[in-house]
Structure 1
Amino acid sequence: MVDLSAHHRPFCCQLLILFCLLHPAASDQPHSISNTPGEEALSIQGVRGSSVELDCQPGPTPVAVLWSFTPLGSLVLQPVAVANGASSRVESGASTLGIVSLRNSSLVIEELREGARGHFLCQTLLVSSGQVHAIYLYLTLSVLVPVSKPRVHLSDPSPTEGVSVLATCAVREGTGPLTFSWHHHTPQGPEEVLVGLSGPRLQLDPVNRTHLGWYKCRASNAVNQLSSDGVFLDVIYGPDKPVITVEPLGFTEDGFWASEREEVTLSCLAASNPPSHYVWFHDDSQIHLGPTYIIASASRAHTGPYTCLAHNSHLDTRTQTTVQLIVYYPPKGQPSCVMLPTFGVVTLLCTWPGGFPNAQLHWEGPQGIGPTAPSNVTWSYTATGLPNGSIFTCMGQHPTLVVPTLCRLTLWEPPRSPTCGTTATVGDQFIMLSCEWPGGEPPAMLNWLDQHQQSLGDPSSSPAVSLLQAQSDLAGREFTCQGSHPLKAPGSHCRLRLEAPHLTVAEPRVSVLEGEEAWLGCALQQGTPPAQLLWLGPQQQRLEQSTYGFTLHPEGAQLRLQVRDADPAHHRGTYQCVARNALGNSSQSVMLEVLSEWEGWYPAPPNVTISRLTYRRQRREVQLQWAIYGPGNLTGFLVQQRASVPSSEAGAWEVAASNIEPESRDWRLGGLDPGVLYAFRILAMNHHTAGHPSEVKTPVDPAFSAYPAVLGATSTGMVVALVASLLVFQYAARHPHTFPCTETAITTSSSDPVQEFPDAPVNVTITVTATPEVQ
């Protein structure tokens, strides 16, 4: 039964009045009741701060709904909300539950509060088949509180290794039961879960350096789980005994080694918290502060003991370690290999002295590995049956070298055969026989034999030299150079015969024109070298490179003489080419004829006529064109000019252009004065012979051109007027019978013949005053 006390009467009255108004015929009908207060109520869980919906169970739409609430530990039924289908009302006291609203017949509580824990009663009135039914539904609501963020507390945040440390995880609120887990995160490693620890307390007894790091506690309940912030446990320890490493790494029986001139890094590490302070000592002398000592370029003076001292300033503890460093250095250069020739046996010698420690040397050949020894090693190898090109390698190994250093010798016979040659000493007192047979390993042995096959000295390697006293009776004698090599049987040889020089000339008689150059040539045909070639002039004087007018051109066994600007008075005559060697000399004569111009040479060149002579560039340049006629050779052209107008007398002829190519028929002359009227003529040249001068002509303006002064006028009308006046004057000059009052002045050269053409231009002087334009 429901207790309808005075506090609840307003709700009940509202429900009954509402029921009677809606269904007057059913006021006497019985009603039914759902579960009673004695029956087990429905249990619902909600989370504080979230929302929960209490449902009166689905069914027909009720006429009225009444929700009431009884807190835990209380028997007072408190109204919460009522609805009659058309309107609803929430009691103001329901705010202790949260934000309450009705959705149909369901009670919705948002932002659920802990005060909502208790029993809820849902009363509904239903009309079914003309009868009124009252349904009661009891609900029990449990409000769960999320767990709050845990907080970790350490009994000693900086303990010394070996003591006990307690870590506690505290949670301010949260609906139980609560579970805990512990997490450890080292500075260098990932986070790990401490398995088996599920309580709020973590005991580290004894604590050690592996416990150093951040600790987190994670608390959870049925609603949520949260982790605490990390708390750092700083375990104080050390320093341990330092460990010294050397880079680059090289071990010896006594310690470490390094190569000379390379960078060496000595690193010291002693486990310690706080980190250790390091001091380096070398031969009991302090050399560095810090964990790393760098030797930029190792030398032999850096050899010795190195001590690293580690100090923990917090605990005031010290440890140290000493290592030995030895600086190695290789021998200078690289191994030296020599192959010595002996009878049937090849002796291989490899040396590489110096260095520390000594380099190890060993030979490798085509049939296996030879002996090994420090610094130098010798290997005698039988050459019989060895193929040409057999390779022997001496390998030099040293700890400071990444790869072995080696030298190689190839056993091979010298190519081709010996070559013989001769030369003479200063003053031709001795003749030196030279024999060369280059190549081959070992070098071939050479021996000089005379014409009776008698040795001229001891055998030697290439080159082999034998000296003979120069005398004429050596001419015609034959000498042999005999060569031998372990891989070549039988040996090879070369022969030479001593001969006096013999030469020939290119032409016994040479003729040139005066002023040209002459070439005299001679060549050594045979003779024991070295042979000296020289030229003697017509007065038997020796011609040198410094002799004026002469140039010597040595070309192998030839000596050519160049005579420049041949002059009959100085260069005509007989020249001698002389060849000399230690066994004698010989000579040949050459006659040089120099033909002069006065002897009928250099005939006159052809005649020249000027075909066109026009002004350019405001009368500062002229363009000259010409043609030649008549027989004769030519080597160029010469242009002459002189001023003829307005000066009263014609000036002297001056050279305006010379050295014009004989193929040219056109030339441009510049640098003229526009106020001067020039006359020009041209001559053809055949070397020093000049032809007849051409006719004398003065330049004319090109067709349809105006004088520069006229072109500079500022008025177009003035220009037109001046051009018209000019045309009139020109016409009057050419037709005096039409304009008898017009005078013309035609100036020609009186000193040279001039050939005038019918259409020769008329020179007209016009004085024009014009104001130039301002640019």
Structure 2
Amino acid sequence: MVGQGALLSPLGLLLLAPLCLLHPGASGQPHPTKGAPRETSSIQGVRGGSVELDCGSQSAPLVVFWSFTPLGSLIPQPVAIASGGEFKVEASASALGAVSLRNSSLVLWELQEGARGHFLCQALHAASGQLHATYSSLALAVLVPVSKPQVRLSDPSPVEGASLVATCIVREGTEPVTFVWQHQAPRGPAEALMGVTKRLIQLDPVNRTHLGWYTCTAHNAVSQLSSDGAFLDVIYGPDNPVITVEPLGFTEEGFGASEREEVTLSCLAASNPPSLYVWLHDHTQVHAGPTYVIASASRAHTGLYTCLAHNSRLDTHTQTSVQLTIYYPPKAQPSCAVLPAPGALALLCTWPGGLPAAQLQWAGPQGAGPTALSNVTWSYAATHLANGSAFTCTGRHPALALPMLCRITLWEPLWSPTCWTMATIRDQFIMLSCEWPGGEPPAVLSWLDEQEQPLGSSSSSPAVYLLQAQEDLAGREFTCRGTHPLRAPDPLCQLRLEAPQLAVAEPRVSVLEGEEAWLGCTLLGGMPPAQLLWLGPQRRQVEPGTLGFTLHPEGTQLRLNVQGADPVRHGGTYQCVAQNALGNSSRSVLLEVLRYPAPPNVTISRLTYGRRRSEVQLQWTVRGPGNLTGFLVQRRAGVPGLGAGAWETMAGDIEPESRGRRLGGLDLGVLYAFRVLALNHRTAGHPSEVKTPADPPFSAYAAVLGAAGTGMVVATVASLLVFQYAARHPDTFPCLGCLLVPREQSHQDQGSRGGPEATPGTEPSPTTPGSDPAQESTEPPVNVTITVTATP
């Protein structure tokens, strides 16, 4: 690959001839691709961005030539050419942006506006021994993002009623550019100016609602930007002041307030810039500012109060006056209540105090009711009265601008009465409870016996009645009756007192030793609600957390969970007991904890000490049928004078496939005994025979054999040397000489040595000093056999 400005190879230079000059159909000339040239495709790019122009060829061409024709011009300009792995970019193509070739596609980075125009890609392909030319035309449109707009006001501070023009200025951006205007009041959210999409808006005339921040947003097909806010300050006012009095109270002449209370006079006149205020009391200035506070009102403060408002920018004035009267209104507000009566309602409304006294009047669904001062009562018939009927008591006082209301809405309680029972401590009493909450007025509840005779007095919700707990109450029914003016007939709630009844999930539960057992018990009935408990095989109440027991209460069920079932501790008959104030009942459940079958027997095959006698090597074998899950090795120490000690476990986690174990930690001065047991979960098999460790076999055998062999070799070598010397010197060792040298040879040697005439060339054998040849023994030779025995 050759970068921009690099030179092409000679082959590439030959291919630089414009492909448009090739004549299709001529011998040896390229043939055009089948079909008409591709239509011009349109593509868009953004200034400063990147765009990739596809040549449209599906296979790698031999030569690719890109040209560019600017808008308004008919002369194409070369851009880039590629041949094989080499390409060249025209220097003048930098006006388009950063140009590079990716395969046959033209990639433009940092796109410039000068890239607007038509791009032509000409590609030369080789197929079936012929050259084919393809063409691809693309029209590139370069879009320019809009610049950040600026809002310009013809007059930033106009007077209300003048004319104003606001302009949104955008330096650049591809058309069409549309505009959106927004207006935000100083104390309000931003709101779009509906229907305004032009570059400028005209406000004629300007009013105070136009005051605030103005922003415009310009957007085209590429981008969207908003301007900073421009503040329009509209000068106006002051308007006629508005005076408010707190606490609020109207009279025929103006405002009224209570004596010794704090009275606040506030004046507000809309103006920009804000108004300056002056207060006058009977034409005498008493305060400067928008708010005049009378800390403790008295009759001397009664009079005419005037508020003057001044706009310093326009130098204009306005004023407003009010009359203030000090009265004594009643405290708080009217109080309403309703009391149930047979076939009617008693509506009470009270509002005492005040000067003058407050006037009260009732109003209901059928119209106005009675009127009175300070206290009014209305007896209203409850027949055909609809649920949700509202009654209003209206209180009026000269010191108050608005009447004070007290409203009562009549509504019946939802649903019907609900009744239940509870037993008191130690089940001495049974408490009958009935509840029917809500309603206006509240419902009245009463308890009735089986003969519909009232028990005790009636009361509002909840209603409670106590019965002495005794067995003859079982099976008796009691009724709670609710009474409300809007409900007919009266709703009832009944309950029957019953002794508890039980049912167990399974009367017999069997589990294997160590597993988990579940005992279930369900309360089928009983009133008042019964208490459930479990009794163990020893007839003692099962407490959670002891001996692996866990209780799980679930509504009317009480489940007993036994973890790690043990035949001794957990096996037996359990009882589920339910008891309430009227009696109790129980159900039994038998829990059987079965042991696992016995494992096969074990026999110790080897038990020997180690070299240091602080450890032993133990091996065993299994005899007989049965399943096993592991082995257990125990030891017992023999204490001199005290006998054998207790068995203790040395290894209890031995795998079932193991048949041996090395055990350490032995005391050299103690004699130990060992035994092995097979395990099937928690069931231990019959112990193996008891064995004590044996000493290891003698280990010096190899050393003795080595020493004996070495001795035999040394002895044999020494004997051979002696025999060789004796054979060469028979006179020195006559006996060995006779055995090693034949007799004839010996006589010959003697003759030759003893004669005066020796054989020429031979030297006489040296004679050992002190030896006498005449004394040579003539005894026949003796055979000697040397036997060496090595004892291991």
- TM, length-normalised to structure 1: 0.40
